[in-house]
Amino acid sequence: MAGFTPVNAVRRPPPGAASTQDSKGKESQHISGGKSVDKTVNARSAGNGSSTTTTYPTHHVNPYIYPQQRSRAYPPLDMASVRKRSDGLQTVVKTDRPFGLTEAPTFYPTLEEFGDPAAYLEKIAPRGKKFGMAKIVPPKGWDPPFCLDTEMFWFKTKRQSMNPTLAERAEKAFVDSLYYFHRHTNKTPINRLPSIDKRPLDLFHLHQCVQLRGGFTEVCRRKLWAQIGRELGYTGKIMTSLSTSLKHSYQKVIYPFDQYLERNSVGLLADGIRIPMFEAPDETSEENNSNEEQEQVSLPQKREHPDDDSDERSGATKKHKLENGTKVARRVRGDERRASQVKNSEATLHRVVPYSDTPSIPDDPTIPPFDNWHGGINTIGDPSDNLTAPTYNLRQFQQKAALFKDKYFQPILGDKPKLEEEDVEREFWRILSDPTENIQVEYGTDIHTSVQSSGFPQIERDVTNRYSQDPWNLNVLPFVHKALSRYVDADVSYLVQPFLHIGMVFSSKSWHFEDFYSYAFNYHHFGEAKTYYSVPEDQTEKLRELLTEIIGKDNIDQDPSLLLQPNHMLSPELLIQRGIICHALDQRAGQFVVTFPKAYTSHVNYGFNMTESVNFFPAFDWLDYGLQCASLYQQFNYPPPFSIQRLLLTTSATSHNINIAKL
């Protein structure tokens, strides 16, 4: 068992505006597509009393969703390179799942049954609720086209670390090693991180991005600096100078370190990529000092002053211990008496022992803290922050996902001819259960289709396409005639409009239940498979008790979202040990997975793929679940997405269906 924070379990409404980059790297601002409008319900709400033909919802057309220019520099995704729906029709049943998990059911509706999703869901619900989820394989005659413009589709990802504490230590270890290297091999140590767009450069992730693509020389040859800049979260406002700035910063600060590591073959493995380490030599040893001068790497040197021949100007170094035991070396320019008397005198403090979690803050206010390199990482903030999140198009993310997967599994495969899904699944849970290992991946999750379009046909873009009004189209499903979400008059677009999810190997979503105990439909557009895990509704109290034990009751009392929006990925092995029943199923291209109310679910991806999901509120049984969830929200003083009482009043006043109006 290990806790990590890959994504928020409960989705929140997207911001009112989002940005998309055009082919030249410039950023164009566009407004979200607005609220979905059900013409039938709105007409009846106006009180005209007329009986109109049911129409499916539309969205406001936004001409700024896509950039107006295209470029050969960012080609579209090659759909021939990904698994498509034809492969998904071949259902593979695994007989040897990790932890002995039982398989959730799979249903194969006929074309006639497939015509009414609400009626079919009501038919399979009694059995599906026993497992918490089910898979639906559409009939062969149902084949919607994939309509997303893969050339102009840009999205942001969130970095996921299975062991956040270990990931933070790896970043600090890298920056410390880099600092030691420049401190002990150059006359002019680099004491300040380079900045781009008024933000300190994330040296750790810059190094990983470059090494993943073959190193500094290869990135320069293939002209990949702008792409790496987007991965570091820089936007199109500075693309004209971004490549030059990144290249210069890497060449000055990191590339000499790469050369040193290549000559000495030092490093350790972290995050699937070799993380270099540099051990600071002992400054008390004259032999080491002489070796340092022989191993100096050529870097731009500070111009020497013509009179720079005195100890008074160059300064002297004195070593002493701070109260926490950290050894430091203090260099004072000028005589010691002057430095002690003059405010803000030029005194520097450098670490000569490995990094310690205990902060070393000098008592002398004239001495700047020597942890300033870590400030560059800290100021970047939460990787999920939209301002610093990496940006890709589908082809770029596919290439990065393939590079990471090949690099990680190449030493593991050995003589094995092919990587199987079971290998990825077992490796994922092995890493998650090992507190000494960490993998950092990226997941383009919860991308709102009102901003970035949908993989399904949309009526405002292609009214002649028959699938644009198909009830299984996730843009239409929440508004079919047996769905209560047709009558919600609050702004809850995040509940009734689909989200896109673009995954890579090991990207995952932790245990969660759907907002307001709703149903959820997930459709797999293309790519590698993903495995879902579920805890059915009759086991949810046991899982909630386990989460309370892990999180802590006092913490939950202070912040109820820790329980209502859990971010803990618990191993099925742990759940089984605690007497909690857990099930699993695999989803492939062209297949639906439906999750049932109150059930907790999680999933893990086996490679590059794209899925789309939406919440569903059927009239036949959701109301009871909604009232239970409203009581849960009230217990923790948590605001519900919308008012059920107001929903009932609106439904009774506007619905002409007697069965729905009686609710």
pLDDT means per 10 residues in the chain (663 residues)?
40 40 38 36 38 37 41 77 73 78 95 94 96 95 91 88 78 81 72 78 88 89 86 69 86 88 61 46 44 41 42 47 51 38 30 36 40 36 53 91 92 84 93 85 90 87 90 94 85 86 95 94 96 96 93 88 84 94 95 97 96 94 93 89 86 66 53
Same domain flag for 95 and 242: no
Query: Is 8 inside any structural domain?
Result: no
Return the pLDDT at 124. Answer: 97
Give the dihedral sign, CA 489/494/495/500. Answer: positive
The number of folded domains in the chain is: 2
Same domain flag for 454 and 561: yes
Residues forming a β-bridge with 520:
595, 615
Same domain flag for 185 and 148: no
What are 283's two structure tokens?
Answer: 């400054």
Query: Is 539 inside any structural domain?
Result: yes
Query: Is 398 inside any structural domain?
Result: yes
Return the pLDDT at 188. Answer: 64
End of a domain among 227, 243, 262?
262
Return the pLDDT at 39. Answer: 36
Query: Is 348 inside any structural domain?
Result: no
The residues, ordered by sequence, that sit 6+ positions from 4 with a Cβ below 8 Å of its Cβ are: 160, 161, 162, 163, 164, 432, 510, 567, 568, 569
Same domain flag for 208 and 144: no
**Which letter, b or e, does each residue of 347-378 get, where b requires 16 or more Cβ atoms within 10 Å of its Cβ?**
bbbbbbeebeeeebebeeeebeebbebbebbe
Q: Distance between CA atoms of 474 and 485, rounded to whole angstroms? A: 13
E strand or H helix that includes residue 524:
strand 519-527
Same domain flag for 175 and 149: no
Give the CA distances from residue 581 to residues 55, 179, 607, in Å, rounded to whole numbers and listed in that order. Answer: 42, 50, 27
End of a domain among 220, 240, 262?
262
Same domain flag for 131 and 186: no
Same domain flag for 602 and 511: yes
Whether 636 and 560 have beta carbons less than 8 Å apart is answered as: yes
Query: Is 204 inside any structural domain?
Result: yes
Burial class (CB in 10 A: 0-12, 13-18, 19+), 154: buried
Whether 397 and 608 have beta carbons less than 8 Å apart is answered as: yes
The type of residue at 41 is V
Whether 345 and 339 have beta carbons less than 8 Å apart is answered as: yes
E strand or H helix that includes residue 549:
helix 540-551
CATH number at residue 447: 2.60.120.650
Give the CA distances from residue 121 to residues 451, 465, 512, 593, in Å, rounded to whole numbers and listed in that order. Answer: 29, 25, 21, 12
Same domain flag for 115 and 152: yes
**Which letter, b or e, does each residue of 261-291 get, where b requires 16 or more Cβ atoms within 10 Å of its Cβ?**
beeeeeeeebbbbebbbbebbebeeeeeeee
CATH number at residue 247: 1.10.150.60
Q: What is the DSSP letter of 38?
A: -
Same domain flag for 186 and 138: no
Q: Among residues 498, 518, 510, which one has the least CA distance to residue 550?
A: 510
Query: Is 335 inside any structural domain?
Result: no
Can you give the residue range of the structural domain that contains 110?
85-157+393-654
What are the backbone dihedrals phi and psi of residue 349, each rounded to the nearest 5 degrees, phi first? -130, 130
Q: What is the DSSP letter of 251?
A: I
Same domain flag for 254 and 118: no
Same domain flag for 172 and 142: no
End of a domain among 262, 292, 325?
262
Query: Is 138 inside any structural domain?
Result: yes
Taking phi first (over 0 means left), then psi (-120 to 50 degrees means alpha), and beta for anything else, what does residue 613 get?
beta
Give the CA distances from residue 443 to residues 3, 254, 324, 496, 532, in Å, rounded to whole numbers and listed in that order. Answer: 17, 27, 40, 22, 16
The residues, ordered by sequence, that sit 6+ positions from 217 with a Cβ below 8 Å of its Cβ are: none
Same domain flag for 405 and 543: yes
Residues forming a β-bridge with 131:
none
User: Among all chains, which residue has been given the structure tokens 């015509």?
Assistant: 115
Query: Is 21 inside any structural domain?
Result: no
Return the pLDDT at 532. Answer: 98
Q: Distance between CA atoms of 248 and 251, rounded to whole angstroms? A: 5
